[in-house]
């Protein structure tokens, strides 16, 4: 049975290993696999995967195939999930089955009777889900030695029902399914296959909703429209920093498997190599414990959803003839080295930390301080890339854990009174805090004590420039469209706007220091023309703090 060690890495038969493999649909039928069941093709593909040195295969079972009509499982289809696991075991591969595939490759697939009902909150559907998990786990018992983990769903964050159900419901659903799976197959590892919406979208699946899972997953691809911050293709360094940033966020909450990734475009090998090298090494440094490419080979099927999304056909690590795709060499090189490493990396130890606040969405009126996952995610990504460009190795620091002995950056997250008090205590004990984007609505007694400054007026936001050695950082963004004018008191004012309003100031606070700005500087990082200047600003600001 596969287990996780204290570092969050996988172990099997007493030895550490790094899952390096692929996601799988047969090329001939794609998402229709469970019904079409081209057994000879599947076994040939698994032979090829093993011969190429892959060690893990994630595969899928659509819910509508397992239970065409709600209330009655098709035991023959359930048995095929176990049969696939057995074929993996015969070839020395670990099987990673994924259930509840209601969303896949742009298509939605649900059993009859689902219309208008929410699988995460409807009592009957929850019971049907638990029955399905129990049946699959029982069928997998003979193959326990060949399982990596059970995945409870492919990107449920893409399903509107999860967003409408909300984190409390999804957490309860997740807890029920995990408990059911482990009761049926003790020792089984369980996860939920989610993507970057865990960081940048309020889609009902924050990391905290998955607390009962053994590890987290992260999916990500270099397609600009799929992220809240623009970049210009795979060769853009920002593109290669996104998945590592998402991975670092997940790693702050538990072990994380990069369960789905790939270049999407199967041509342009030079650009593919650039993106892959930066992405893979960045994710490994961020603490990823494995990497599964999407997908093993190109899909030639013309059924839904490939008929409407042709790009879904050419995402293979291998082409339709089973040949490794040019441009994927960085993956194969790391497969040879990482899969043989004696131990996975521990929780990353960086050089600067990015603050993860208590409130990231607006669902709870009691805790809501104005943050949204989308806005915080965009600024976090901008901050992460700027720090990487400046030569730093960033990590994520959660508000509810002991803050590290590192410079701490808050890229515009609003905090409540209790958080402000903890930050005051941390700074006064020697912490070094870099905070920009001061939200006027949260500045009370504790924030004044933190900033060592007093608000004196609410001013109109105006475009401003902060000078750096790489040119000015141009910014016009402020929280709630208000520029908070502060009396800096004894602080050293580093920059002012044309009206004389302090744009950046450095204050001593007890044994620590804080450098603050009312402007949302990381919003400026969304503009490519500002990136190098923003990196220079971070480098110069952190030098002053340190």
446-504 pLDDT per residue, tens? 999 999 999 999 999 999 999 999 999 999 999 999 999 999 999 999 999 999 999 99
pLDDT of 32 higher than 80: yes
| DSSP summary character for residue 157 | G
135-149 pLDDT per residue, tens? 999 999 999 999 999
Averaged pLDDT of the chain: 95
**pLDDT at site 310:** 83
Three-state DSSP at 49 gives helix
Q: Which residue has the higher pLDDT, 113 or 41?
A: 41
Tell me the average pLDDT across 396-405.
96
Q: Which of 202, 144, 197, 194 is nearest to 174 (CA)?
A: 194
User: Is residue 326 classed exposed, middle or buried when 0-12, 13-18 and 19+ CB atoms within 10 A define those classes?
Assistant: middle
H or E stretch covering 425: helix 417-428
In three state form, how does the secondary structure of 199-265 look? Answer: HHCCCCCCHHHHCCCCCEEEEECCCHHHCCCCCCCCCCHHHHHHHHHHHHHHHCCCCEEEEEECCCC
pLDDT of 41 higher than 80: yes
**pLDDT at site 347:** 66
Tell me the average pLDDT across 97-104.
93
222-239 pLDDT per residue, tens? 999 999 999 999 999 999
Q: What are phi and psi of 355, to 5 degrees?
A: -75, 135
How do the domains of the chain map onto residue ranges? Answer: 17-338, 352-545
Residue 345: pLDDT band (50, 70, 90) is: low
Tokens of 384: 């992460």
Tell me the average pLDDT across 270-280.
98
**How many other C-beta atoms are found inside a 10 Å radius of the C-beta of residue 79?**
13
The answer to whether residues 250 and 8 touch, using CB atoms and an 8 Å cutoff, is: no
Cα dihedral 262/268/274/275 (nearest 10): -30
Q: Which residue has the higher pLDDT, 384 or 108?
A: 384
pLDDT of 342 higher than 60: no
Query: Whole-angstrom Cα distance, residue 420 to residue 451?
Result: 10
Residues 6+ apart with CB under 8 A from 160: none
CA 433 remoteness from chain centre: 25
Is the sign of the CA dihedral 320, 323, 325, 326 positive or negative?
Answer: negative
Query: Whole-angstrom Cα distance, residue 514 to residue 409?
Result: 10
**pLDDT at site 170:** 98
**pLDDT at site 51:** 98
pLDDT of 375 higher than 90: yes
Percent of the chain with pLDDT over 70: 98
**pLDDT at site 209:** 97
Query: Whole-angstrom Cα distance, residue 233 to residue 271?
Result: 8
CA 322 remoteness from chain centre: 30
500-519 pLDDT per residue, tens? 999 999 999 999 999 999 99
Partners of 293 in the β-ladder: 22, 261
Domain 352-545 classified CATH 3.40.50.880?
yes
Tell me the average pLDDT across 246-274.
96
Rounded to 5 degrees, what angle do the CA atoms 204, 209, 213 make? 130
Q: Residue 287: left if φ>0, alpha if ψ -120 to 50, beta else—which one?
A: left
**pLDDT at site 346:** 59
**How many other C-beta atoms are found inside a 10 Å radius of the C-beta of residue 271?**
18
Q: Which of 21, 105, 81 is nearest to 296 (CA)?
A: 21
Tell me the average pLDDT across 154-168.
94
**pLDDT at site 203:** 95
User: Is residue 233 classed exposed, middle or buried when 0-12, 13-18 and 19+ CB atoms within 10 A define those classes?
Assistant: middle
pLDDT of 172 higher than 70: yes
**pLDDT at site 266:** 86
Domain 17-338 classified CATH 3.20.20.80?
yes
**pLDDT at site 232:** 95
Residue 88: pLDDT band (50, 70, 90) is: very high
Residue 335: pLDDT band (50, 70, 90) is: very high
Cα distances from 100 to residues 155, 185, 193, 251, 325, in angstroms, run 10, 18, 10, 25, 30
Q: Is the pTM of this model over 0.75?
A: yes
Rg of the Cα trace of the chain? 24
Question: Which of 162-166, 180-184, 263-267, 271-275 shows the lowest mean pLDDT across its residues?
Answer: 263-267
Q: Which of 417, 420, 421, 393 is nearest to 407 (CA)?
A: 393
How many residues make up the chain in this entry? 546
């Amino acid at each position: 049975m596969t287990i996780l060690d204290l570092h969050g890495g996988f172990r099997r038969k007493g030895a550490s290993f790094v899952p390096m493999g692929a996601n799988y649909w047969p090329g001939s039928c794609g998402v229709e696999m469970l019904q079409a069941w081209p057994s000879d093709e599947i076994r040939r593909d698994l032979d090829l995967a093993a011969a190429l040195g892959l060690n893990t295969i994630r595969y899928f079972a659509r819910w509508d195939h397992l239970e065409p009509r709600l209330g009655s499982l098709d035991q023959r289809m359930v048995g095929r999930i176990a049969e696939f696991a057995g074929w993996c075991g015969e070839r020395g591969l670990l099987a990673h089955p994924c259930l509840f595939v209601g969303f896949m490759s742009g298509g939605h697939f649900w059993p009859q009777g689902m219309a208008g009902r929410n699988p995460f909150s409807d009592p009957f559907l929850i019971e049907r889900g638990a029955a399905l998990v129990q049946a699959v786990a029982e069928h997998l018992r003979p193959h326990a030695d060949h399982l990596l983990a059970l995945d409870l769903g492919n990107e449920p964050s893409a399903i509107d029902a999860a967003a409408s159900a909300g984190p409390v419901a999804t957490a309860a659903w997740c807890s029920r399914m995990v408990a059911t799976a482990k009761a049926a197959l003790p020792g089984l590892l369980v996860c939920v296959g989610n993507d970057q919406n865990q960081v940048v979208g309020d889609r009902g699946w924050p990391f905290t909703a998955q607390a009962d899972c053994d590890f987290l997953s992260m999916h990500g691809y270099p397609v600009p429209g799929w992220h809240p911050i623009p970049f210009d293709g795979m060769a853009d360094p920002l593109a290669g920093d996104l998945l590592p940033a998402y991975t670092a966020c997940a790693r702050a909450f538990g072990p994380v498997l990069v369960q789905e990734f790939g270049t999407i475009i199967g041509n342009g090998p030079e650009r593919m190599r650039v993106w892959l090298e930066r992405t893979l090494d960045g994710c490994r440094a961020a603490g990823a414990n494995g990497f599964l490419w999407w997908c093993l080979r190109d899909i030639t099927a013309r059924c839904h959803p490939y008929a409407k999304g042709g790009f879904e056909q050419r995402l293979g690590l291998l082409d339709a003839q089973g040949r490794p795709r040019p441009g994927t060499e960085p993956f194969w090189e790391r497969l040879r080295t990482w899969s043989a490493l004696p131990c996975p990396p521990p929780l990353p130890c960086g050089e600067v930390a990015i603050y993860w606040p208590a409130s990231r969405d607006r669902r709870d009126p009691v805790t809501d301080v104005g943050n949204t996952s989308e806005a915080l995610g965009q600024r976090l990504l901008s901050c992460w890339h700027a720090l990487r460009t400046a030569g730093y190795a960033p990590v994520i620091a959660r508000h509810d854990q002991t803050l590290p002995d590192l410079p701490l950056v808050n890229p515009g997250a609003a905090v409540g009174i209790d958080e402000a008090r903890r930050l005051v205590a941390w700074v006064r004990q020697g912490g070094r805090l870099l905070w920009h984007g001061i939200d006027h609505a949260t500045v009370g007694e504790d924030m004044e004590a933190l900033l060592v400054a007093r608000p004196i007026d609410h001013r109109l936001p105006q475009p401003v420039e902060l000078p750096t050695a790489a040119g000015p950082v141009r910014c016009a963004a402020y929280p709630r469209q208000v520029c908070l004018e502060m009396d800096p008191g004894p602080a050293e004012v580093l920059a002012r706007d044309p009206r004389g309003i302090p744009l950046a100031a450095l204050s001593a606070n007890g044994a620590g220091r804080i450098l603050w700005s009312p402007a949302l500087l990381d919003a400026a990082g969304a503009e490519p023309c500002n990136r190098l200047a923003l990196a220079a600003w971070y480098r110069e600001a952190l030098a002053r703090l340190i």
